Amino acid sequence: MLSKVKACVLQGLEGCIVEVETDLSSGLPGFNIVGLADTAIKEAKERVRSSIKNSGYRFPVSKITINLAPANLKKEGSQMDLPIAVGVLSASKIIKNQIDDICFIGELSLDGKITKVDGALPLVISLRNFNVRKVIIPIENKEECGVIDNIDIIPVDTLIDLVDYLNEEIEIPPYKSIYMDSLLEHQYEEDFSEIKGQTALKRAVEIAAAGGHNLLMLGPPGSGKTMIAKRIPTILPDLSFEESLEVTNIYSISGETSENGLMKKRPFRSPHHTVSRAALAGGGRTSKPGEVSLSHYGVLFLDEMPEFPKSVLEVLRQPMEDGMISVARANNTYTYPAKFMLIGSMNPCPCGFLGDPKHECSCNQGQINKYLSKISGPLLDRMDIQIEVSPVYYEDLNSKNKEESSKEIKERVLNARHIQSNRYKGSNVYTNSQLTSKQVAKYCKIDSDSEALLKIAFDSLGLSARAYNKILKVARTIADLENSENILQKHIAEAIQYRTLDRKYWR
């Protein structure tokens, strides 16, 4: 007996349909899987055999051959358990009905339970795009998959339920997640109002959030750098539905989706400085997305940036330019999105107190130079806004002044974002930080006074061409925050100020 069952495997973020052909023939009993299956799929044999038996069905005593087509496609992932089991049950007539138009996704446990798989959302989206009408998924994946329209999502708990459903002995209605825009609004536990003083730093962070700019904070220990970085997502716009879907896709592949389906918060990732290149960039043995992709549409925070090995930091350069990262895997290359705001923090020297009026720095020049040199010129250049953080003052910590809340700051950020999205309508640019140099020339025109100022700064600070463009982009954002159509000299002056740090420390 021969049966054919539809399955789906991921290649990066895209799903490809795989046909599972099961042949039962007389001959020496055995169970073979052919067609470029990886070890995880070969292990499926044992889970399939046990789950069929433990669900009370007879496991065929025949020669079983499973062929996974197309043969040239590398098949990975535990979601192949279920289609293989369905193939066996269908070839042995335990499943009686036609199942040609259904796709099956699910891992099996030995007792016949259908268990959660990673990457269910991108699989389901791809199937919908291939016009598959119905997909069987594990119950635990139903919230993330239930947001997708135009395909019936049938969540199933056990193999027994599935057989009964396919034989029309029970009914399982298609699952739809309750989705409302308002559900995307997320309440954060932290708030900007908890940060006392630090007006200049807050201003820089607001500009960074408004224009999607990268930010480097340099300052003594305990000055609130980590505290403020954690609160950046609270002043960013809420994720749109499409953005949320993209983010959830990435987390789905990493097996990190939340219980309520879609990811609603902007990601905030803060990998430790011992993170490996593969964990940061993605790829490696599992070809999963790395931290740069897990921060897509959110914040990638590198605390104590010079502690990261230089080779690891250099990984960031490609995604920072392209907004995506290519991950090599066996004979394939996958591309994952990686549009993040990079927020870095560091001390001015190894002991942290260089330039602090109240503490003495105990480092010698050699140690300081070595520490600063961990951040390469090209990486430093990519930090649009660089700001020196002053120590927190006792008067600030103790003051009864009410600090602005995240909500108040967010309103200004939203207004500036709105201006940008109108200006760049129809292009794939959303924030000033994403402008190409050609677009900078078009959208960041300045008057002769500003030009003169910029020339002085350029010569005296010895700025690079990239720094020049960054100043114009940041100035554009500062003007947008003020609803100013033109970039004025004062906007340029403030933007230049955010580029002086490298000249002061890195010379």
Nearest to 2 by CA among 128, 133, 100, 110: 100
C-beta nearest to Mg ion: residue: 226
Considering only 267-275, 323-331, 353-361, 437-445, which stretch makes contact with Zn ion by CB under 5 A? 353-361
Q: Is 54 in the site for Mg ion (CB under 5 A)?
A: no
Nearer to ligand ATP, 123 or 346 (CB): 346
225 in contact with ligand ATP (CB under 6 A): yes
Q: Which one among 207, 354, 454, 463 touches Zn ion, defined by CB under 5 A?
A: 354
CA 114/CA 110 separation, integer angstroms: 10
Strands 63-69 and 14-25: antiparallel
Q: How far apart are CA 507 and CA 505, in angstroms?
A: 6
Token pair for 479: 């003007």
CB of 223 to Mg ion, least distance (A): 9
User: Given the complex with ligand ATP, which of 185 and 194 has the nearer CB atom?
Assistant: 194
Q: What are the DSSP calls for 238-274, one per residue?
A: PPPHHHHHHHHHHHHHTT--BTTBS--SPPEE---TT
349 binds, among ligand ATP, Zn ion, Mg ion, none (CB under 5 to 8 A by kind): Zn ion
Query: Angle at the Cα of 129 (from 18 to 102), degrees rounded to 5?
Result: 50
Q: Which stretch binds Zn ion (CB under 5 A): 27-35, 199-207, 350-358, 415-423?
A: 350-358
Give Cα separations from 247 to 50, 119, 158, 304 (angstroms): 36, 12, 29, 26
Residue 196 in the binding site for ligand ATP (CB under 6 A):
yes
Q: Does 197 bind ligand ATP (CB under 6 A)?
A: yes
Q: Give the shortest CB-228-to-Mg ion separation in angstroms.
A: 10
Can you state the angle between helices 44-54 and 81-91, rounded to 10 degrees?
A: 50
Cross-strand partners of 63: 25, 30
**By the rule CB under 6 A, 79 interacts with ligand ATP:** no
- Interacting positions 18-47 with ligand ATP (CB under 6 A): none
Whichever of 230 and 417 has its CB closer to Mg ion, that residue is: 230
In angstroms, rounded to a whole number, what is the distance separating the alpha carbons of residues 61 and 27? Answer: 9
Q: Residues in contact with Mg ion, total (CB under 5 A)?
A: 1
Among residues 77, 119, 224, 344, which is the contact residue for ligand ATP, using CB under 6 A? 224
Pick one of 294, 300, 361, 372: the residue that binds Zn ion (CB under 5 A).
361
Return the residue of 85, 300, 305, 351 that touches Zn ion, per CB under 5 A.
351
Which segment (53-61, 93-101, 358-366, 419-427) binds Zn ion by CB under 5 A? 358-366
Report residue 24 as tokens. Answer: 């039962």
Q: What are the tokens at 370?
A: 């070595």
User: The tokens 């073979």 sit on which residue?
Assistant: 32
Compose the 319-358 pattern: x for residues touching ligand ATP by CB under 6 A, - for all others: --------------------------x-x-----------
Closer residue to Zn ion (CB): 126 or 390: 390
Cross-strand pairs, 67 = 21, 34
Nearer to Zn ion, 209 or 351 (CB): 351
Positive or negative: CA dihedral 164, 167, 171, 173: positive
Which position has the token pair 């103790």? 398
Preceding peptide of 378 cis, ω within 30°: no
In the complex with Zn ion, which residue's Cβ is closer, 117 or 501?
A: 501
Close Cβ partners of 26 (under 8 Å, ≥ 6 residues apart): 62, 63
| Binding of residue 317 to ligand ATP (CB under 6 A) | no
Torsion of CA 145, 255, 226, 435, to 10 degrees: -60
Give the whole-angstrom CA distance, residue 7 versus residue 19.
Answer: 6
**Which residue in the set 24, 253, 363, 375 belongs to the binding site for Zn ion (CB under 5 A)?**
363
Q: Does 254 bind ligand ATP (CB under 6 A)?
A: no
474 binds, among Zn ion, Mg ion, ligand ATP, none (CB under 5 to 8 A by kind): none
Selected range binding ligand ATP among 142-150, 220-228, 282-290, 408-416, rule: CB under 6 A: 220-228
Measured distance CA(206)–CA(203) in Å, rounded? 5
- The Cα 201–Cα 208 span in angstroms is 11
Bridge partners of residue 104, in order along the sequence: 136
Asked if residue 222 binds ligand ATP (CB under 6 A), the reply is yes
**Residue closer to ligand ATP (CB basis): 87 or 224:** 224
8 vs 372, beta carbon nearer Mg ion: 372
Per CB under 5 A, which of residues 218..277 are in contact with Mg ion?
Answer: 226
- Say which residues have a Cβ less than 8 Å from residue 438's Cβ, sequence separation at least 6: none
Q: Give residues in contact with Mg ion (CB under 5 A).
A: 226
Q: Give residues in contact with ligand ATP (CB under 6 A).
A: 195-198, 221-227, 345, 347, 392, 397
Q: Give residues in contact with Zn ion (CB under 5 A).
A: 349, 351, 354, 361, 363
